[in-house]
Amino acid sequence: MDLVKAVIIGIVEGLTEWLPISSTGHMIILNEFLKLDVSEEFWEFFLVAIQFGAILAVIVIFWDKLWPFKIADGKLWLRKASLNIWLKVVVATLPAAIIGLLLDDWMNEHLYNYVVVAIALIAYGIWFLSLESSRKGDYKINKLKEIDLRTALLIGLFQVLALVPGTSRSGSTIIGGMMLGTSRSVAAEFTFWMAVPVMAGASLLKLLKFGFDFSGHELAILAVGCLSAFLVSLASIRFLMNYVKKHDFKLFGIYRIVLGLVVLIYFFLS
């Protein structure tokens, strides 16, 4: 049954990691109803490590843009366009990386609960609706290469907000990007680029904390969860990139508010 549960958790991760609805928030809620027969330490590690499957989906889909090297005329060349974007990604990643390292244990102890998740879901749902309702005129940044270092850093500061569970890493960076003048599609794509070092680093940090002493049962759960997250992420990323070309984020805002209210009501009554 744990393997079946791992598949379900992986599906939820793959769906919610890239949509601006908070994967961590959904995982905390899901754990109330679908508990794995594992230690608390492994569950905390699994919550982060399962994101590795989602990262692989980004690498597969955007490989041609992400990989900064090419071979031509028998020589290895650096692609300046890719390196330029990676420089901005590194700058954008620094704020959340520094604060996340400093506050990781404190956040796990104080913020990972349904009340925080529900409030964050509702608050950012309202923010999405407000932002989309007040949005007027054209975007000043319509291509990824048009993001400058200052804009990248400011988007990175918005990503710090995602350290609070229920916020959504993609949600906070997309909101930040749009407020700074990027189009929805550019904000979403830059979020995918940022996810690679952020999520890879978070997974490595959790692995170092947990250690490498896995049981066969734990390895199976981890493998199944990551695989299902990878497969679902492939579809989820493509869906979002196509969706934002024709639609705004109001639907996600409404979903967040409804889910947050349902969570509060459920736990209040129970």
Q: In this predicted structure, what is the pLDDT of residue 82?
A: 87
| Structural tokens at position 116 | 């925080």
Structure confidence by residue, pLDDT tens digits, 58-94: 999 988 888 887 777 777 778 888 889 999 999 999 9
Interhelix angle 2-16/216-243, rounded to 10 degrees, is: 30
What is the residue type of 228?
S
Alpha carbons 20 and 81: distance in angstroms, whole number: 27
Mean pLDDT of the chain: 88
Evaluate whether 240 touches 190 at the Cβ level (below 8 Å): no
Q: What is the pTM of this model?
A: 0.85
Phi, psi (degrees; rounded to nearest 5) at 56: -60, -35
Alpha carbons 259 and 163: distance in angstroms, whole number: 19
Residue ranges in 161-215 assigned as alpha helix (H): 169-179, 184-210
Q: In this predicted structure, what is the pLDDT of residue 25?
A: 79
pLDDT tier at 104, thresholds 50, 70, 90? confident
What residue spans define the domains of the chain?
2-269
Evaluate whether 203 touches 53 at the Cβ level (below 8 Å): no
Name residues whose C-beta falls within 8 Å of residue 255's C-beta, 6 or more positions apart in sequence: 21, 125
pLDDT tier at 137, thresholds 50, 70, 90? low
